[in-house]
Amino acid sequence: MSLTRVPRPRRFLTCAPRYFDVRYAINPWMREDTEVDTDLARAQWETLIRAYRDHGHRVESIEPVAGLPDMVFAANSAVVLEGRVFGSRFHAPQRRPEQLAYERWFKAAGFDVHPPESVCEGEGDLIPAGPYILAGSGFRTTRAAHQEVQEFFGVPTISLLLVDPYFYHLDTALFVLDDRNIAYYPEAFSPGSREVLERLYPDALIATRDDAMAFGLNAVSDGRNVFVTPQATGLIDQLTDRGYVPVPVDMSELHKAGGSIKCCTQEIR
Ligand code: ARG
């Protein structure tokens, strides 16, 4: 295909994995007895940051806080659209102190933060996609938060139900390729939600279970370049066929906590 995809420069907020660890288990990927190689996690994370910058994206960082081992997963901190910040309210008590740290960062960067009333975990489950916000529930973010986010932004919010605990956040089962299209793993969704996705995205890229389990859908696209885990080989072939440019970044050490590329990346729109 001779299609030329056009990238859009992004602004990202990230958090170095200085205190990254697996000390509690709040999703099926995590095991309390897991040993984490902090140096490797740091090196993988730095490779991601370099890849973003090499492709023209602006990357900022929040100071990591000791005792918050999941703070590296910046995508859970908020949803930001047109400079308006809808904050987070974490499901797990272990992650709740992250809210304050991120809120402080946003305030210092000149943003007002709207504190949500219902449990919601930022872009992990609330994903801006062109004219919509795609919204996951089932494990973390509640349906009530979908309504809250729609009222706050005034953007049509599409509720999707996640049914497989390995895909506990929407961003583990789906990612946005550009304003018009997405990639996803259908079996992560309830039958009704699958139909909704088929209607909205008849031309979507469909991932296999192997690619999804490799965190292939926890990817970031700038409209042309797709930062994606190298283990998702089938997905990488499909992206290439559709005219996208895969940029493989290995985040295997972060997978031990149930996160990968997108989880480490908060977009500021
Ligand atoms: N250990 C973290 C948790 O379970 C991983 C978060 C991954 N973040 C994401 N956006 N999917 O909360």
Instruction: Evaluate if residue 101 carries a pLDDT over 60.
Output: yes
Percent of the chain with pLDDT over 70: 99
Mean pLDDT of 179-201: 98
Selecting among 15, 91, 255, 263, the annotated active-site residue is 263
Q: What is the pLDDT of residue 86?
A: 98
Residues in the chain: 269
Name residue, tokens 């001779």.
2
Task: Indicate whether residue 169 lines ligand 1 (CB < 6 A).
Answer: yes
How far away, in angstroms, is 32 Cα from ligand 1 center?
15
Residue 146 annotated in active site: no
What's 208's DSSP letter? P
Task: Indicate whether residue 68 lines ligand 1 (CB < 6 A).
Answer: no
How far away, in angstroms, is 164 Cα from ligand 1 center?
15
How far away, in angstroms, is 76 Cα from ligand 1 center?
7
Hey, CA dihedral for 225, 231, 232, 236, is it positive or negative?
A: positive
Hey, CA dihedral for 197, 2, 269, 53, is it positive or negative?
A: positive
Report, in angstroms and rounded to the nearest whole number, the Rg of the chain calculated over CA atoms.
17
Q: What is the pLDDT of residue 176?
A: 98
How far away, in angstroms, is 109 Cα from ligand 1 center?
24
Name residue, tokens 């991601």.
48
Q: How far apart are CA 114 and CA 119, in angstroms?
A: 13
Task: Look up residue 116 and give its two tokens.
Answer: 């949500």
Q: How far apart are CA 133 and CA 153, in angstroms?
A: 9
Considering the domain 11-267, what is its CATH architecture? Answer: 5-stranded Propeller (3.75)
Instruction: Evaluate if residue 150 carries a pLDDT over 60.
Output: yes
Q: What is the pLDDT of residue 33?
A: 87
Task: Indicate whether residue 26 lines ligand 1 (CB < 6 A).
Answer: yes
Q: Which atom of ligand 1 is nearest to the CA of 140?
A: 12
Determine how many CB atoms are found less than 10 A away from the CB of residue 168: 23
pLDDT in tens, 213-262: 999 999 999 999 999 999 999 999 999 999 999 999 999 999 999 999 99
Residue 263 annotated in active site: yes
Across the chain, what does the average pLDDT equal?
97
Q: Which atom of ligand 1 is nearest to the CA of 30?
A: 1
Q: What is the pLDDT of residue 2?
A: 53
Domain segments of the chain as ranges: 11-267
Instruction: Evaluate if residue 56 carries a pLDDT over 80.
Output: yes
Angstrom distances, CA of residue 214 to CA of 70, 162, 236: 19, 18, 12
Task: Indicate whether residue 265 lines ligand 1 (CB < 6 A).
Answer: no
Mean pLDDT of 136-160: 98
Instruction: Give the CA-trace dihedral at 202, 248, 49, 27, to 10 degrees.
Output: 70
- Residue 3: pLDDT band by 50, 70, 90 thresholds? confident
Q: What is the pLDDT of residue 94?
A: 97
- Residue 62: pLDDT band by 50, 70, 90 thresholds? very high
